[in-house]
Amino acid sequence: MQHVTIKEIAKALNLSFSTVSRSLNDNYQISEKTKTLVRDYASSVNYIPNLAAKTLKTGISNSIAVVVPFLSSPFFVDFFEEITMLFSKTDYNVILLQTFNNPIKECEALDVAIQNRVAAIIISPVHDDSNCSKLAYIQKQVCPVVLFDRTNHRLETHKIGVRHEREIAIAAKQLLKQGCKNILLLCCKGIGANDARIAGIRSAFLGKQEPDYSWAVVEIEYNHPNEDLKKQLLRPLKEQKEGLCYDGIIATTDTLTTKVLPLLLTDEGMLADCAQVIGFSNTAYARILNPTWTVFTQPSRQMAIKCYETILELINYRRLQINPAYNTVFLDVIPG
């Protein structure tokens, strides 16, 4: 099929195609009159630029890769929705890539990003050192990389996240204040942030001695969020201290809050009936599930905004060949 090209516009307007190209790119050298002429004609013939040609010539496409574990978590859906809206006001468009928490798929996703000559990568990596050398290579040789959410990754770059230790400490202290004595911390298995989270609950229990007080951590594996979580959850719980009944629970992720927790609560024996719950979640369902729960919301949209700003800055720096000084920005969880 034949699309309208710059060449055809040039011929129709009796201009060189360099001039047409410059006009469409709003080049300062071209007179307003010519620009208007070209733009009006281009839109009248419904000119749609061939991005492949531009990408081939410049070496950089106008795509931004957003690499996330999966979309089954509302946190990532929110983040993606927000960042898509932000970039939709620019010339960039967003390519979404999912890793399903699998380093091999992450590697493939990064290859797709390179193949497409993306202008930048925004990634929530699989774990602390997944595809480290590849990401370092990309950052050095291909395009800027920004990490979000899982900021413990070893790559040195701008990172945008939350202070997991602090947030969990706040949650745990709140439960203790409400009278809880035995607190269960539910984590997703193999996530780098877990160390910080455990440090958080430990710090909240400083000075609270056994046997009056206790806390425990259960790590649940849900690489693909549609797995059967119940068995996983109950096995370690049953192996743990017999007779103990947790009266406070902290669920650290959206999946844990909305899927795992209801399983735990409907099941027999592991929890006090009046167990108090703080769940981290980005879905309105979380509150509906049980109105007495306290829901802490991850600042997904704020993170998207910060990622967006950071990426534009890094792209600009790279164009100007300025080396940025990388730093990590922490945003506050929104307590319920």
Partner DNA sequence: CTGAAAGCGCTTACAG
Q: Summarize as ranges the residues that interact with a copy of itself (CB under 8 A).
A: 1-3, 48-53, 55-56, 59, 61, 70-72, 77, 80-81, 84, 88, 93, 95-96, 98, 105, 108, 111-112, 114-117, 140-142, 258-259, 262, 283-285, 288-289
Nearer to DNA, 23 or 130 (CB): 23
Q: Smallest distance from the beta carbon of 122 to a copy of itself, in angstroms?
A: 15
- List, in order, residues 6 or more apart from 124 with CB less than 8 Å away: 67, 68, 69, 76, 147, 148, 149, 150
Tell the smallest beta-carbon distance from residue 65 to a copy of itself (Å).
11
Nearest Cα neighbor of 146 from 75, 67, 201 is 67
Write down the least CB distance from residue 251 to a copy of itself, Å.
Answer: 14
**For DNA, which is the closer residue by CB, 30 or 119?**
30
> What are the distances in angstroms from CA 156 to CA 121, 162, 200, 310?
14, 17, 24, 14
Min. distance of Cβ 18 from DNA in angstroms?
3
Q: Which does 33 bind (CB under 5 to 8 A by kind): a copy of itself, DNA, none?
A: DNA
Beta carbons within 8 Å of 160's beta carbon, 6+ residues apart: 146, 147, 148, 149, 151, 303, 306, 307, 310, 328, 329, 331
Indicate the residue type of 174: Q
Shortest reach from residue 159's CB to DNA, in Å? 30
Query: Between residues 51 and 85, which has the closer beta carbon with respect to DNA?
Result: 51
Nearer residue to DNA within complex by CB, 25 or 178: 25
8 A C-beta contact, residue 229 and residue 49: no
Burial letters 231-250, b for 16+ CB under 10 A, else e = ebbbeebeeeeeeeebbbbb
292 binds, among DNA, a copy of itself, none (CB under 5 to 8 A by kind): none
Which residue lies nearer to a copy of itself by CB, 114 or 176?
Answer: 114
Tokens 């009278």 — which residue? 179
Which of a copy of itself, DNA, none binds 71 (CB below 5-8 Å, type-dependent)? a copy of itself
Taking the CA atoms of the chain, what radius of gyration do you get in angstroms? 25
**Binding-site partner at residue 116 among a copy of itself, DNA, none, CB < 5 to 8 Å by type:** a copy of itself
Alpha carbon distance 70, 51 (integer Å): 28
Distance CA 57, CA 60 (A): 8
Closest approach, Cβ 243 to a copy of itself, in A, equals: 28
Do 176 and 204 contact (CB within 8 A), yes or no? yes
Tell me how far the alpha carbon of residue 54 is from its chain's centroid: 29
141 binds, among DNA, a copy of itself, none (CB under 5 to 8 A by kind): a copy of itself
Residue 266: Cβ within 10 Å count: 8
Give the Cα separation of 82 and 77 in Å (integer): 8
Residue 15 binds which of a copy of itself, DNA, none (CB < 5-8 A, kind-dependent) = DNA
Which positions lie near DNA, rule CB under 7 A?
Answer: 2-3, 5-7, 14-19, 21-22, 24-25, 29-34, 47, 49-50, 53-54, 56-59
DSSP assignments along 176-224, one per residue:
HHTT--EEEEEEETT-TTHHHHHHHHHHHTTT--TTT-EEEEEEE--SS
Q: Which is nearer to DNA, 29 or 323 (CB)?
A: 29
Residue with smaller CB distance to a copy of itself, 116 or 214: 116
Residue 22 binding partner per list DNA, a copy of itself, none, with a CB distance cut-off of 5 to 8 Å that depends on partner kind: DNA
Q: Which is nearer to DNA, 33 or 177 (CB)?
A: 33
Q: 302 is in the binding site of which of DNA, a copy of itself, none (Cβ under 5 to 8 A by kind)? A: none
